[in-house]
Amino acid sequence: MRWTPNQVTALRVAVGFAAVSLFGRGPWTNLAAVGLTVAAIALDALDGHLARRKNLATPVGAQIDILGDRMIENVYFTYFAVVGMVSLWLPVFFFARGAATDFLRGLAMRAGHSGWGANAMLETWWGRALVASRWSRGLYAAMKCLCFCYLGLELALTRGPLALLGGMTADLHALVRGGAHVLTWMTAAFCLLRALPVLAEGWRFVSGVGQVRGVKRIAQGAL
């Protein structure tokens, strides 16, 4: 492929927005939106793979990848909140969490700490394991994909006059709804868990300690 990781990220965001635009237009378009959702998550894995394989990983690229993640998760959760499938507090939580962590990452980047390498913002092993490890990022992507696809399938199968499954019993409908609640809040809980190291280690950049360390490292590198 001649595509750059940033181009793949842009395509991922476009596919995600296209998927959300198809939701609610009918059962078959809902299913098509679910397929596009899987494609968007797969593109999320592809841009990271290209960055590592072609040695194209950069601090700016890492920030663009995070921006793409924010746009995707916010547009999905906002849509499902608007149609009443998840609590309004869910997208509010994701907006607030993203704003806080991205603010701290921005301060860290100004101090010369960004990305996932030796100059990364996170210095503790547990912080890197929760945020930057492949298992953590892969599990979080899988949870979001499962969550979005489940809600999309529920929309196609059980909602509206043209639902593919009609005549569901109240107990079965309650079971499907309960599964949606479990999935969405489990995803939110893991999202919060991954934010804790950023919040804990990023606070030093608010107090100015991280900026001082960054200046010292730059000065030592110049020598």
CATH value at residue 10: 1.20.120
pLDDT of residue 12: 92
Q: Which domain holds residue 94?
A: 5-222
DSSP state string for 123-176: -SHHHHHHHTSHHHHHHHHHHHHHHHHHHHHHHHHHSSTT-SS-S--HHHHHHH
Q: What is the pLDDT of residue 209?
A: 55
Alpha carbon distance 27, 154 (integer Å): 10
Q: What is the pLDDT of residue 188?
A: 95
pLDDT tens readout for residues 77-112? 999 999 999 999 999 999 999 999 989 988 888 888
Domain count, the chain: 1
| Cβ-contact 162, 26 below 8 angstroms | yes
Using alpha carbons, select from 10, 8, 15, 14 the residue that is nearest to residue 50: 8
Residue ranges of the chain with pLDDT lower than 50?
212, 214-216, 218-223
Position 165 scores a pLDDT of 63
pLDDT for 13 equals 93
Q: What is residue 98's predicted lDDT score, i.e. its pLDDT?
A: 92
pLDDT of residue 215: 44
Give pLDDT, residue 116.
60
